[in-house]
Chain A
Amino acid sequence: MGTAISLDLADDLPRDELDRLADETFRWLREVDARFSTYRDDSEVCRFGRGELLLSEASADLRLVLERCADLWAATDGFFDAYATGGFDPSGYVKGWAAQVASDRLLAAGAANHCLNAGGDVRVRGRAASGRPWRIGVRHPWNPMATCLVLAGTDLAVATSGVYERGHHVFDPRRGAPARGLRSVTVVGTDLGVADAYATAAVAMGAAGRSWLDRLPDHPHAVVTDDARLLHSTNLPLA
């Protein structure tokens, strides 16, 4: 996927232990990349997409991803669509899911205070080394070096979908064309894969995505419209 991953372990653990936890995290994420990347012809996803791999032969992880993608398709009125671009491409869920699993494993391994950022999808738990809750900026849609919102919390999954990157489109699966109306959507929840899928679905919905997000009580959100207005739920965990 070519995605940049940042990991911040804030627990006061021995250096060896921290190194081991970091290595395990990155090994898992590389494994996911090898199996789920749509850019690698030999990945499990590509073989499944070409029909070379039957569902019954697929790994438990792939079957889980397929099931979750189907659930999310239903939950988003079809706007989160792993088949939107023609072939099977679950990347919109896999990145958040993989980071969520990594964060769950860190927690189980005794690293209760960490911040994992997988290509802009963020999972934070506990507190930063300074002792305060994690502070998460939301990228400014027109300025990659700036943020337009700051969130803070001790147990947050924060996913942002946007169409501000050159050549990066979110497809509206109903019209078969790039979505317009919302430049950037940030969704906060507890499961990063779900938050990411919701954010992507809202961008695909266009202007109507806001009212759809508004009906998700457990997922506060912020949107930046194409005409540069910033709107967010009243229960968004602002810093």
Chain B
Amino acid sequence: MRRALLAITGLAASTTALVVLKSAPGASQVAQDLPAEAQPAVPGGAAPAGAETSAAPSASAAAPKPSRSAARAPATRPSPTSGARTPSARKTSSKPAQPTTRTVTGPVVENEYGNVQVQITLSGSRIVDAVALELPEDTAQSDQRSRQVDDTYSGTSGLVVELQGADLDTVSGATATSTAYRQSLQAALDRAS
């Protein structure tokens, strides 16, 4: 929870990712508002009070931003599932009359570290929960660093690891335990010789 909120705040500051909000009952549906009774993702709309107060500022920071990044996203993602990810059905969260609970999913936004997608739960116009559906694998900093490594590395360009070679005399590997040894190629070689 706390991590997701941090992600939202960071995005709002840097990439204007959360501009286009749409509800997504299923992964392949286009955005549409959901009635309260068809809402499985939220446990009765009961959320801790702390979440409301801390989540609200992020949403207000994100909402009025222009949708530069979001509009760019579908052009670089010509995937068959782009229906769920396209921000074409642009429905900003309109304020409902009574406090119904809805789940709204943002578009997948690419930034230089990877894809980000955030889902928020609203009770009325208040955000009561926020979940990151997709985040870059590792921290942004380490990803950037590993790409810099790729760019400067003088070795090979990176093959997919595959099985190789027979006719060996020995095997190097971290067989630190005797269990690992018994299950290892080295044990087979030792038995054979």
Q: Chain A: residues with CB nearer than 8 A to chain B?
A: 1-4, 6, 8, 115, 117, 119-122, 124, 128, 134-151, 158-165, 168, 180-181, 184, 186, 206-208, 210-211, 214, 221, 224-225, 228-234, 239
Contacts and interface: CB of A to CB of B under 8 A. Distances in A.
Contacts of B94: none
Chain A facing B: main interface SS: strand
Interface residues of B, number: 43
Contacts of A162: 173-174
Interface stretch (B18-26, B45-53, B80-88, B142-150): B142-150
B182 to A, nearest CB: 8
Interface of B: 138, 142, 145-146, 148-149, 152-165, 167-178, 180-181, 183-190, 193
A181 B142 contact: yes
Contacts of A8: 169-170, 193
Given A4-B187, A134-B169, A120 B164 contact: no
Contacts of B156: 230-234
Contact of B173 (A128, A134, A150, A160): A160
A139 B175 contact: yes
A11 B190 CA distance: 18
Of listed B157, B185, B189, residue having the most chain A CB within 10 A: B185
Contact of A144 (B145, B158, B176, B184): B184
18 contacts: A115-B169, A135-B168, A135-B169, A137-B171, A144-B173, A144-B183, A145-B185, A146-B163, A148-B164, A150-B164, A162-B174, A168-B176, A181-B142, A181-B146, A211-B149, A230-B159, A230-B161, A231-B159
Given A164-B174, A206-B142, A6 B164 contact: no
Contacts of B146: 181, 207-208
A181 B187 CA distance: 28
